[in-house]
Amino acid sequence: MTDAALTNHVFDVDQQTFEAEVLQASLTTPVLVDFWAIWCEPCKTLGPMLEKLAAEYNGAFRLGKVDVDKQQELAGMFGIRSIPTVVLVKDGQVLDGFAGALPEGQLREFLSRHVQPLEAIEQAVEEEAAPETPDQALTRLQQAISAEPDKAELKLELAQALMRAGQTDAAEAALTALPANLAIDARAVRLRSELDLAHALKGAPTRAELLQRLQADTGDWAARDQLGVRLLLEGDAEAGLEQFLLILQKARDWNDGQARKRLLAAFATLDDAELVSRYRRRMASLLF
């Protein structure tokens, strides 16, 4: 094997480099060790195929080449009796191997038992990292419900997915249809609060219009209430909570104590425990 044929994925192995480049390296990347000789005719068929696969797998495994004529002691360590012989070293141990020049299809099958191409690994990582879209969640859950129509838990998940997809009417219908034991589930309670807040914005003015109304009249509690809901649902939770607290402070009985109800609904939907705890204390200080 000439220097020109060497790549990052294919390298020559000798007694001195075996420990570091094969055993130690296999702790992170599998190493396929090819025992060959220049006079071996089957080696001339197998070697190029292994090098091709090493390049194709692009670092998912490395190919170490051992010339048995030059490295007789190393070949003896592995008990090599015929060539070509190939062994797979993974996690510092010989995991598998074969003797003879296998056809490419069998080589691929052998590799598939122990090694994944990096492209497949990267794709799997990307798929795992990529968040599921609302539409994907709906499709997945609808298929799961078709397969298991009596599994009520899936119907609660579907109601949540409908809410995330902005289908509030459908989410409410799915929530209403849940059996009694799931209707009091914490997720169902949270979803009900989210729906209450979303309903408050039906037909509501834009944020700019609400701010304009409040600039003209700071005691426009309806505008302040809708602004609080809009800020909350648009991701500015703290600013939204501030609007409800101001109503609670200045007009606690407005609209049958709606500011308190809004705060409780908001607390049920927020994941930030520190924020919720802080505003619960502030609400309590105004009420008691």
Task: Given the residues 25, 43, 171, 245, select the one marked as catalytic.
Answer: 43
The DSSP result for the chain, as a single string, is: --GGG-BTTEEE--TTTHIIIIIIGGGTS-EEEEEE-TT-HHHHHHHHHHHHHHHHHTTSSEEEEEETTT-HHHHHHTT--SSSEEEEEETTEEEEEEES---HHHHHHHHHTT---HHHHHHHHHHHHSPPPHHHHHHHHHHHHHH-TT-HHHHHHHHHHHHHTT-HHHHHHHHHTS-HHHHTSHHHHHHHHHHHHHHHTTTPPPHHHHHHHHHH-TT-HHHHHHHHHHHHHTT-HHHHHHHHHHHHHHHTTTTTTHHHHHHHHHHHH---HHHHHHHHHHHHHHH-
89 has which bridge partners? Answer: 31, 94
The pair phi, psi for residue 130, each rounded to 5°, is -70, 125
For the chain, the maximum distance between any two Cα atoms, rounded to a whole number of angstroms, is: 97
Would residue 43 show up in a list of annotated catalytic residues for this protein? yes
Task: Given the residues 40, 87, 141, 223, select the one marked as catalytic.
Answer: 40
62 has which bridge partners? Answer: 31
Cα-Cα end-to-end distance for the chain: 85
Quick one: 16 exposed, middle or buried, by C-beta within 10 A (0-12, 13-18, 19+)?
A: exposed
Would residue 234 show up in a list of annotated catalytic residues for this protein? no
* Residues involved in catalysis: 40, 43
